[in-house]
Amino acid sequence: MINLYDLSLDELSRLFQEWGQPAYRARQLWEWMYAHKVQNFNEMTNLPKDLRERLETECRLGVMRIAAEQQSSDGTIKRLYQLPDGQYIEAVLMPYEDNRRTACISTQAGCAMGCVFCATGQMGFVRHLTSGEIIEQAINFARMLEAEDERLSNVVLMGMGEPLHNYDATLEAINRLTSPDGLGIGQRHITLSSVGLVPAIRQFADEGLQVKLAISLHAATDEERSALLPINKRWNIETLLDACRYYVEKTGRRITFEWALIAGENDTPEQAEALGQRLQGMLCHVNLIPLNLTGGYAGKPSDPARVEQFRKILERYGVSSTVRVRRGIDIEAGCGQLKAQVIGFDDIS
Ligand code: SAH
Ligand code: SF4
């Protein structure tokens, strides 16, 4: 069975050509999929019946089953999806007061990077998602919002998995998220978050996109960062920051650095000083996020006074930062700490 959301418009056109369909049919189907987001072939009223029947037997319009859904008191919705091979992934929708509607979507089931404080990392790697599985998470939220006269305005690739480890499928998904005949979300409204796969960051910079890049930094000395993020043993902080400067140079886009504040670990004045020195003068912004608790890691979030002290030190170096509000915290919907097992899908507490 072909998942039609795995295909580009060109690939769909080639398939229809093989089926002996006239060229305009591919675009008709494409509009049903991306503009109208219908879920059944029989709603595609301008396609001939025999074509609809063939589509029905050989193709699928998405593959994911909603296994569970929770809504937080702040309006955040967390969905657990089951994939056709039984794997679970999560996607989160966050409404903001300024009318932004942001989907946080996954690119892999599990993750191979093993960051010690991350629930996904603690699961290990299961498999890459296909481009269709990545985009379906966004399409489903977009359809839901459109039924309420709203629209999906932003997408962050900050769910389960390391997007640059699943480079090709992620890039195809970004293309279909942003193209005017896809979901039509502006490139500047897409954020890709990476743990720091240096060659892939450079390759991504060369794509000529205007997508925002967020880098999970979390520590300003190699010793501390390697203890938290094993990938730092492969590419150290300076190598990573060189690639980040290359991204800024190529795209003109400001980079965001993510920093999960862990009490007594990376929230010390020494770490803040070291970070300020490293980032001074760079076109960047730091997001300070108190750690979300996970089962496999004993660290605790920093208290607010410590967070403020950290922020002030960065300010002295001219490095801007914001303390990020944790969304959907009552349903543990902090992106990156998404839990992939039904048994780990806690009730609203
Ligand atoms: N793999 C990518 C994107 C997914 S993780 C990356 O690492 O950037 C999204 C973000 O959540 C990352 O910044 C990650 O470091 C952060 N994160 C993971 N676990 C967390 C936790 N327990 N508390 C706070 N942030 C966490
Ligand atoms: Fe993977 Fe990102 Fe979690 Fe690290 S923080 S284990 S890279 S999902």
pLDDT, one tens digit per residue, over 262-314 is 999 999 999 999 999 999 999 999 999 999 998 899 999 999 999 999 999 99
In short, whether 302's Cβ falls inside 6 Å of ligand 1 is no
Burial environment of residue 349 by CB neighbours within 10 A (0 to 12, 13 to 18, 19 or more): exposed
**Is residue 192 pLDDT above 60, yes or no?**
yes
Percent of the chain with pLDDT over 90: 89
Instruction: Identify which of 261, 311, 260, 253 has the alpha carbon closest to the alpha carbon of residue 282.
Output: 253
Q: Which residues line ligand 2 (CB under 6 A)?
A: 111, 113-115, 118, 120-121, 161-162, 195, 216, 336
Please identify which of the residues 111, 244, 284, 335 carries the catalytic annotation.
335
Atom of ligand 2 nearest to the CA of 114: 6
Judge if 2-60 and 67-343 fold alike in CATH terms. no
**Is residue 324 pLDDT above 90, yes or no?**
no
**Is residue 73 pLDDT above 90, yes or no?**
no
Structural class in CATH, domain 2-60 = mainly alpha
Which ligand ends up closest to the CA of 113? Answer: 2
* Phi-psi map region of 64: left, alpha, beta (phi>0 left; psi -120 to 50 alpha): beta
pLDDT of residue 337: 55
pLDDT of residue 345: 38
Per domain, the residue ranges of the chain are 2-60, 67-343
Give the residue, by CA position, lying nearest to ligand 2 atom 6. 121
Which ligand ends up closest to the CA of 159? Answer: 1
Quick check: is 335 catalytic? yes
pLDDT of residue 329: 58
What is this structure's pTM?
0.94
β-partners of residue 22 are: none
Distance separating alpha carbons of residues 131 and 125, to the nearest angstrom: 17
pLDDT band at 333 (very low <50, low <70, confident <90, very high): low
Structure tokens at 69: 């859904």
pLDDT of residue 344: 40
Structure tokens at 23: 């060229």
> Which of 118-132, 268-282, 319-333 shows the lowest per-residue confidence on average (mean pLDDT)?
319-333
pLDDT band at 174 (very low <50, low <70, confident <90, very high): very high
Q: What is the mean pLDDT of the chain?
A: 93
pLDDT band at 332 (very low <50, low <70, confident <90, very high): low
Give the residue, by CA position, lying nearest to ligand 1 atom 14. 336
For residues 158-174, give the mean pLDDT.
Answer: 97
For residues 207-225, give the mean pLDDT.
Answer: 97
CATH of 67-343, one of 3.40.50.1000, 3.20.20.70, 3.40.50.620, 3.40.50.300: 3.20.20.70
Give the residue, by CA position, lying nearest to ligand 1 atom 11. 336
pLDDT of residue 328: 64
Burial 157-177 (b: 16+ CB within 10 A, else e): bbbbbbbbbbbebbbbbbbbb
For residue 55, the SS3 value is: helix
CA distance to 29, 30, 169, 306, 345, per residue, from 157 (Å)? 27, 24, 12, 29, 21
Quick check: is 90 catalytic? yes
CA distance to 192, 284, 343, per residue, from 222 (Å)? 23, 20, 36
**Is residue 164 pLDDT above 50, yes or no?**
yes
Percent of the chain with pLDDT over 70: 93
Please identify which of the residues 18, 53, 90, 111 carries the catalytic annotation.
90
pLDDT of residue 343: 36
Q: Please give the residue that has the higher pLDDT: either 294 or 228.
A: 228
**Is residue 97 pLDDT above 90, yes or no?**
no
